[in-house]
């Protein structure tokens, strides 16, 4: 945790770590480390399988990959190598609809703003060049500031109003 906070320049009271109720995450050493780093703790409710929607989203993506093996792995090393390839694909190749079809790595590096600006320009240029091919407005390439997996009604209303205004 210390290395991650240092590498990502995470400041005290900036993030919350959500985890299951596993022993390693509730151990006194981990809790003391989180407290020293100023990281808030959040734990899943007992017997609630969908309490962490981000993890559930990753599991859903994993289960629907064509590369998901149909049979079990031969050993732990083979499983780890497959997961490493999946993580690399997920972070560096998979374009997420929830963040306007940029990769998580592009979003994390702050590259999404320039990418979306370029896409908007390309779409507007294509529409200006051949307006008869367009029956509606171009796709909304406006950057999404906050990502919500299970948005509240209020968040959905705000996003709907942004789409209407765009």
pLDDT tens column, 20-37: 777 888 889 999 999 999
Question: pLDDT tens digits for 85-134?
Answer: 988 999 999 998 889 999 999 999 999 999 999 999 999 999 999 999 99
Look at residue 155 in the predicted model and tell me its pLDDT.
53
Does pLDDT of 162 surpass 60? no
Q: Can you tell me which residue has the tokens 């963040």?
A: 99
Q: Which residue blocks in 46-111 are alpha helix, DSSP H?
A: 53-63, 76-92, 104-108
pLDDT at 119: 97
pTM: 0.63
> How many helices, marked H, and strands, marked E, lie in the chain?
8, 2
How much is the pLDDT for 153? Answer: 60
Q: Are 151 and 159 in contact (CB under 8 A)?
A: yes
């Amino acid at each position: 945790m210390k290395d991650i906070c240092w590498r990502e320049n995470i400041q005290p009271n900036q993030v919350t770590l959500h985890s299951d109720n596993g022993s390693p995450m509730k151990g006194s050493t981990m809790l003391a480390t989180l407290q020293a780093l100023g990281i808030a703790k959040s734990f899943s409710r007992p017997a609630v399988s969908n309490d962490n929607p981000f993890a559930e989203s990753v599991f859903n993506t994993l289960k629907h990959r064509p590369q998901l093996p149909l049979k079990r792995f031969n050993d732990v090393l083979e499983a780890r190598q497959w997961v490493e390839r999946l993580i690399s694909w997920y972070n560096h190749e998979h374009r997420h609809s929830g963040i306007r079809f940029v990769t998580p790595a592009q979003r994390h590096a702050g590259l999404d703003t320039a990418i979306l600006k370029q896409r908007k320009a390309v779409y507007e240029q294509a529409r200006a060049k051949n307006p008869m091919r367009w029956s509606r407005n171009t796709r909304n390439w406006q950057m999404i500031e906050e990502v919500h997996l299970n948005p509240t009604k209020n968040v959905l209303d705000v996003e709907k109003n942004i789409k209407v205004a765009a």
